[in-house]
Structure 1
Amino acid sequence: MKRHWHAAASAFAALFTVSATAALFTVSATAATELDLKREDGSQITMYLERSQKEAKADLLVLIQGSDCNSVAHNTLINQKFSEVLPGADVLTIEKYGITSHLPWDRSGEREDCPAAYLQNDSLAQRTSDYLKVLDQLAERATYENIVLLGGSEGAVIANIIAARADYVSASVALNGGGRFFKDDVLASMKNSGMPEHAYEQAKQGFNQFAAQVLEGKPFPVSMSLHGYRWWHSVLSADQLEILGDVGTPTLIVQGTADKNVDVAATGEMISELRHKGATNITYLAYEGMGHHFQRDDNTSALPNLIADIQSWLNAALSN
Structure 2
Amino acid sequence: MNRKFFAPAIMAAALLTAGGLPAAAAPATSTTVCSLRLGSVDATGGEVFQQVAATRPPTISSDGPTLPVFAAGQVRLSSSLVVKPGPVGPAVDSYVIIGSAMYHSTYRTGVDGRLDPKHPPVLTRIGGGWGTFTAFERSIRAGYTTYYGLRNDGMLFRWTSGADGVWHRAGSVPGFAGFKTMALISKTRTYDTFLMNTRAGALFTFHIPVGSPMHGMVKMVRERTWQGFESLVAEKCGVYGTLLLGIDQDTHAGYLYAVGHANGFATVIQQIGKVPVPLTDHVYFRVVPSPAVDVLNGE
TM-score, scaled relative to structure 1: 0.25
Normalized per residue, the structure richer in strand is 2
Question: What TM-score do you get using the length of structure 2 for normalisation?
Answer: 0.26
Richer in helix (by share): 1
